[in-house]
Amino acid sequence: MRRLRRSESMRALVRETRLHAGALIYPLFICPGEGVRRPISSMPGVFNLSVDEALQEARDVAQLGLGGLLLFGLPEKKDEQASGAWDENGIVQQALRAMKRDRALDSLVLIADVCLCEYTSHGHCGIVRPGEAGTHEIENDSSVALIAKTAASLARAGADIVAPSDMMDGRVAAIRDSLDDEQLHDTPILSYASKFASAFYGPFREAADSAPQFGDRRSYQMDGANRREAMREIELDLAEGADMVLMKPALPYLDIIREARDCFDVPLGAYQVSGEYAMLQAAFERGWLDRDRAMLESLLSIRRAGADFIVTYFAKQAARLL
């Protein structure tokens, strides 16, 4: 076996999996204001950015040859109906319009995350109703209606792809209907089809200010123990009209990515989430792991598991090395 490992050129010739900048998507957190660039303590190198700063960042990302951006928003005000999510003048809608006007960004695919958790006062991904004995229910169908409305609003504002991350049942079909009703037939849906209830989303909730104020997300996000159920989620989303699926988290769930790759022929993305980024950054800061090598190895493993593209906070750093 060692004959084919003797030099870098020999290894390059027989390499089975490749990383390239065009397959990396960079998440951005857009906030109100001007000239705002607020660091997120648990995610060194990641910021909340006002629209003007986000445009600057997007130009860097385009220069580096990345595939695109995934946009999240921090609204001015939060309420029970998540009005900031579907407001025509919402924060992500404003960012999308500005980005679409900038020709330097034409090479980027603009993906809008579709969810209510950054916009609800309680931080849940849907509408909350009181349940029995002081408990709370996250209502499915009323949430889906607002999620579909949000998706159409983001597509009208210029999103090239809408990506629902809420995990309510039936949202993909509802989003497809609402897009088609508004003549947005050409907007694809990237569904976060297999999204597990994970501790690794912790730092994101600081970045997006979206931690649930009570309870947790286990009644809508998947149980980390379930592989077969993940395949059913994907199957249902595809039947409802999803064009592509996103798997998350990535590193602790590589087996799920591989299984999805073997079972389905649609384009598959994986999200290397905030906690995966945070744990590697923490080790880099202490000098415990080699930054460049550990970062690229983690991304390569996700590609090898079967992901076509990767959403990652390392996208810019990785592209500089590729």
Residues that bind ligand PBG (CB under 6 A): 113, 115, 117, 125, 165-166, 201, 204-205, 217, 273-274
Nearer to ligand PBG, 136 or 205 (CB): 205
Q: State the minimum distance, in angstroms, from the CB of residue 262 to ligand PBG.
A: 25
Cα-Cα-Cα-Cα torsion 92, 314, 218, 123, nearest 10 degrees, comes to -30
Q: State the minimum distance, in angstroms, from the CB of residue 104 to ligand PBG.
A: 26
Q: State the minimum distance, in angstroms, from the CB of residue 265 to ligand PBG.
A: 25
DSSP 235: H
Q: State the minimum distance, in angstroms, from the CB of residue 1 to ligand PBG.
A: 38
Which of 77, 78, 100, 248 is catalytic? The answer is: 248
CB distance 252 to 302 below 8 Å = no
Nearer to ligand PBG, 204 or 253 (CB): 204
Whether 78 is a known active-site residue: answer no
Nearer to ligand PBG, 184 or 250 (CB): 250
Q: State the minimum distance, in angstroms, from the CB of residue 95 to ligand PBG.
A: 16
DSSP 80: T
257 Ramachandran zone, left/alpha/beta (phi>0; psi -120 to 50): alpha
Residues 6 or more apart in contact with residue 94 via CB below 8 angstroms = 30, 51, 157
Residues 6 or more apart in contact with residue 46 via CB below 8 angstroms = 27, 29, 39, 40, 207, 277, 313
Helices H, strands E: what count in the chain?
12, 12
Nearer to ligand PBG, 46 or 173 (CB): 46
Nearer to ligand PBG, 117 or 247 (CB): 117
End-to-end CA distance of the chain: 26
Nearer to ligand PBG, 115 or 234 (CB): 115
DSSP 189: B
Query: How far apart, in whole angstroms, are the C-alpha atoms of residue 220 and residue 98?
Result: 33
Amino acid, single-letter form, for residue 167: M
Tell me the three-class secondary structure of 50-61, residue by residue: CHHHHHHHHHHH
Q: State the minimum distance, in angstroms, from the CB of residue 94 to ligand PBG.
A: 19
Alpha-carbon distances, residue 246 vs 87, 193, 220, 271, 313 (angstroms): 26, 6, 16, 7, 16
Closest residue to ligand PBG: CB criterion? 204
Instruction: Please name the residue ranges forming H helices in the chain.
Output: 8-13, 51-63, 83-86, 91-101, 140-157, 171-181, 202-207, 227-240, 254-263, 274-285, 291-305, 315-321
Which of 77, 100, 195, 316 is catalytic? The answer is: 195
Nearer to ligand PBG, 26 or 201 (CB): 201
Q: State the minimum distance, in angstroms, from the CB of residue 111 to ligand PBG.
A: 11
Catalytic residues: 195, 248
